[in-house]
Amino acid sequence: MLLDKLNNKKSYLCSLMEKRVRVRFAPSPTGGLHMGGVRTALFNYLFAKKHGGDFILRIEDTDQTRFVKGAEEYIIEALKWCGIEPNEGVGFGDGPHKPYRQSERKELGIYKKYADKLIASGHAYYAFDTEEELNDMRKRLEAAKVVAPQYNAVTRQNMRNSTTLGEDEVKKLLADGTKYVVRLKVPRNEEIRFNDIIRGWVTVNSAQVDDKVLLKSDGMPTYHLAHIVDDIEMEISHAVRGEEWLPSAPAHILIYRYLGLEEQMPKLAHLPLILNPDGNGKISKREARFPVFPLSWQDPRETAPYIGYKESGYYPEAFVNILALLGWNPGNNEEIFSVAELAELFSFERVHKSGAKFDPEKAKWFNQQYLRKQSDADLAKAFKPLLKEKGYEKDEAFMIDFCKLVKEKVQFVHEFWDHGKYIFEAPTSYDEKVITKKWNAQSKEVFTKVLETFKSVSDWKMQPIHDAFEALVKETGKIDMQLLRVLITGVAGGPQLFDMIALIEKEEVLKRLEAALSKL
RNA sequence: GGCCCGUUCGUCUAGGGGUUAGGACACGUCCCUUUCACGGAUGAAACACGGGUUCGAUUCCCGUACGGGCUACCA
């Protein structure tokens, strides 16, 4: 009991002394940022906001062979559109730890310093093996039925590196400018344990970890070295990244340890992946029948662009809301949250361990919820240019009435056209099903009367039109409204009938009715 | 193959040793409605399987199955 109290007090004090929350999103500019990446950025952002910390954008461009022009700019624009802006880093005003691009940091010799330290302490070594030699090694191991060939404590003994070569030979090779990489010297058999905020304790034996390359032969650090050096130097408190990094986390623990930085190591949080809705695996941009990028992305190596969420008509708030609820939820039945509300509610304790399949249908529903929050005037303003593209221009009052009428049927602004085009365009054909079912010998006479009645309406507004129609119904008996709808619009569905008729000009309605009567 | 991580309705999920296992999307039915919707109500729909532990397990443990990730001088 007393011990519990002491422990509580201790952990309370510890939490007070905990370092400032500083998290980073660290994509590599190898293509457009896809929705999985956005969600990783989002969770980082929410966590930073929740704790009044910093959110940093770091560009991890250490692989020069995969660098894609425009990718970095795309990442910055995408984050801006989503409203999850870093307060430090590339594109968002450099901060005290600049530069934030790893290629630039490499020029400053930042990474080499750490690699040298590891070599000096015997935890890393030079490896001179050529690509062919590495391939031969793997082939040899495969032939010997080794299931997972890797450069490790055993195989390194048969390779050309500073653990097998004499000191003089190594010196000579280095002096000659021989190409080399620096590898981490992973122990042969050692339990590595770490505590992941989301997954709890994870244990891996070092035998499963290969001697990771730290410094490539072009002098660039690999991700493994670079992100650790930068996380330390940028005082990152929590490393929040995708689940795909979980298997290499033990190697990272080792690097921190050998650098004597285990105490300053950021806490780890590995996020579950976003999976394909149908089939298996993580979302692939090629096969997806829904957008995978926040903004349209034109890959310079491909011809056709990938259409983004923005261009598909999604509100950024809806897009972010969807992403937030993939792998996390606040624990109640609510689903619609602003970014500010999400930041208030967010915690890693409520992040799932398992991957979530993305449901494009539900995504549309989310957008609909946000669309309904818009005012009719805002919707009118948003739809006006789309209508103009179709060749129609209307005044603001009309647009507002139109949006008010069609609003309940749409999930996206562009759907105002799909669901409301009948108002602008006369039918070219009439719904077969409705006609065969409902058009009969008396119809022509009845609708001729409707035509006459409409002609007599002088104040062309919904109520007078409706009143006149009702008066006619009293006189003639029931008149099928769906049939009337089809005669005017050609289709069985659509917005409220009399509101719609009022929105179409009187002359046009009469013209359409006359045309229908002559054709049927 | 090996290693790691996971598994509640079709999907996203709540819950958690004793519950009629809750909500949302999608789907069905009904109500409202002379049209079309919205809305409301309602229905069908889940604890992967097998062993433990326990008075009792969907919940804890162990296996199996299944899914995912990783297995590069890519991140």
Bases of chain B below 7 A from a protein C-beta are: 1-8, 10-15, 22-26, 34-38, 67-75
- Checking if the pLDDT of A31 tops 70, the result is yes
pLDDT of residue A471: 93
How large a percentage of chain A has pLDDT more than 90? 87
- Checking if the pLDDT of A9 tops 50, the result is no
Kindly report the average pLDDT of chain A as a whole number: 93
Render the burial of A320-333: b for 16+ CB within 10 Å, e for the rest. bbbbbbbbbbbeee
Q: Which nucleotide is nearest to A244 (CA to C1')?
A: B69
User: Per residue in A261-308, pLDDT tens?
Assistant: 999 999 999 999 999 997 678 888 887 889 999 999 999 999 999 999
- Residue A307 to residue A517: CA distance in whole angstroms: 44
Q: Which residue is nearest to nucleotide B13 (CA to C1')?
A: A329
Is the ipTM reported for this complex over the cut 0.90?
A: yes
The answer to whether domain A109-271 has CATH 3.90.800.10 is: yes
- Checking if the pLDDT of A367 tops 50, the result is yes
- Residue A259 to residue A474: CA distance in whole angstroms: 91
pLDDT of residue A209: 95
pLDDT of residue A269: 97
Contact A308, A297 (CB under 8 A): yes
Render the burial of A119-156: b for 16+ CB within 10 Å, e for the rest. beeebbbbbbbeeeeeeebeeebeeeeeeebbbbbebb
Interatomic distance A174 CA / B54 C1' (Å): 67
Interatomic distance A203 CA / B49 C1' (Å): 27
CA A149 to chain centre: 35
Q: What residue segments make up the domains of chain A, in order of their start?
A: 109-271, 376-420, 432-519
Interatomic distance A278 CA / B45 C1' (Å): 19
- Checking if the pLDDT of A164 tops 90, the result is yes
Longest dimension (CA), chain A: 112
Q: Which nucleotide is nearest to A223 (CA to C1')?
A: B75
- Checking if the pLDDT of A16 tops 80, the result is no
Confidence of residue A7 (pLDDT cuts 50, 70, 90): very low
- Residue A9 to residue A7: CA distance in whole angstroms: 5
> What architecture does CATH give domain A432-519?
Orthogonal Bundle (1.10)
Average pLDDT score over residue span A117-142: 95
Q: Which nucleotide is nearest to A275 (CA to C1')?
A: B68
For residue A257, the one-letter residue type is R
User: Per residue in A76-113, pLDDT tens?
Assistant: 999 999 999 999 999 999 999 999 999 999 999 999 99
Q: Which nucleotide is nearest to A331 (CA to C1')?
A: B14
Written as six digits, the tokens of A59 are: 């560009």
Q: Which fold has domain A376-420?
A: Helicase, Ruva Protein; domain 3 (1.10.8)
pLDDT of residue A118: 98
Interatomic distance A395 CA / B36 C1' (Å): 25
pLDDT of residue A289: 86
Interatomic distance A493 CA / B30 C1' (Å): 21
Confidence of residue A17 (pLDDT cuts 50, 70, 90): low
- Checking if the pLDDT of A18 tops 80, the result is no
Render the burial of A334-362: b for 16+ CB within 10 Å, e for the rest. eeebebeebbebbebeebeeebeebeeee
pTM above 0.90, yes or no: yes
pLDDT of residue A287: 78
For residue A217, the one-letter residue type is S
User: Per residue in A404-463, pLDDT tens?
Assistant: 999 999 999 999 999 999 999 999 999 988 898 888 888 999 999 999 999 999 999 999
Q: Annotated catalytic sites of A, by residue?
A: 285
